[in-house]
Amino acid sequence: MKFFLDTADLNEIEEAASWGALAGVTTNPSLYARVGGKLSDFHNHIKRICDIVDGPVSAESVAMSRDEIVRDGRELAAIAPNVVVKVPTMVEGLAATHTLAAEGIPVNMTLCFTVPQAILAARAGARYISPFVGRFDDISEDGLGQLENVVAAINNYDFTPNTVNGEQVEIIAASIRSANHVTQAALMGADIATVPFGVLKKMVAHPLTDRGLDAFMKDWEKVQNA
Ligand code: G3P
């Protein structure tokens, strides 16, 4: 499993990149708004992220028609070679993905919740598909169960996007809210988990690690004073 950071916060991205396990970044309009992002600076901000991360950086189109999404996608893809255009799973998004993929522009189809949506995204030529886990849980549904279904269904077939020769479509477990979500997504075989920085920190921590470290430190003090 690869880890992407689900954030537009440059400090978080720099810190996570320094840990050595960061394979990419996903952003969305809400995450950009959360860091006080301005429309006029959006492309520059994506460029700054692309300069930090040696891996795919998803930047989302907020257009609603296929022609506008394609126009957005071309502009976003021109920012840096590692930009992936994030496109919502809807009819106009599928049509735009079909066009962008044919031009060799990688697309991450987002706001994906069901197996039929995921298969349509893969057929349209998406390089990545992002089933959302937490938002399903938010409406008292089984987010992990839906992710498991998507992973199983996509792995039943040979979906090779037009954008990257020989590479299969990859599933990004998104809307991840806990380290347990990551555990379960890894056991299912999701290719990638995109996680908020808070979840990434929780993935590192365990109370037994803290307790063991504390005991080692106390014993080392005894050694120094012996
Ligand atoms: O990449 C977008 C997705 O991960 C959103 O997560 O927590 O806003 O549902 P969340």
Using one digit for the tens of pLDDT, what is the confidence trace for 168-186? 899 999 999 999 999 999 9
Closest Cα to atom 4 of ligand 1: 175
**Nearest one of 18, 25, 8, 11 to 194, comparing CA atoms:** 25
Q: Are 110 and 60 in contact (CB under 8 A)?
A: yes
- Respond yes or no: is residue 86 known to be catalytic: yes
Per-residue pLDDT, averaged over 81-94, amounts to: 98
Better-predicted residue by pLDDT, 167 or 4? 4
Question: How, if at all, do strands 170-173 and 192-195 pair?
Answer: parallel
**The pair of three-digit structure tokens given for residue 52, joined into one six-digit string:** 């930090």
Closest Cα to atom 10 of ligand 1: 175
Best probe residue, ligand 1, of 60, 87, 132 (max atoms within 8 Å of C-beta):
132
Per-residue pLDDT, averaged over 156-179, amounts to: 85
pLDDT band at 134 (very low <50, low <70, confident <90, very high): very high
Per-residue pLDDT, averaged over 66-73, amounts to: 98
CA–CA separation, 5 vs 194, rounded Å?
A: 5
Q: Is residue 198 predicted with pLDDT exceeding 90?
A: yes
60 lines ligand 1 (CB under 6 A): no
The CA 147 to ligand 1 mean position distance, Å, reads: 14
pLDDT band at 64 (very low <50, low <70, confident <90, very high): very high
**The pair of three-digit structure tokens given for residue 33, joined into one six-digit string:** 């708004």
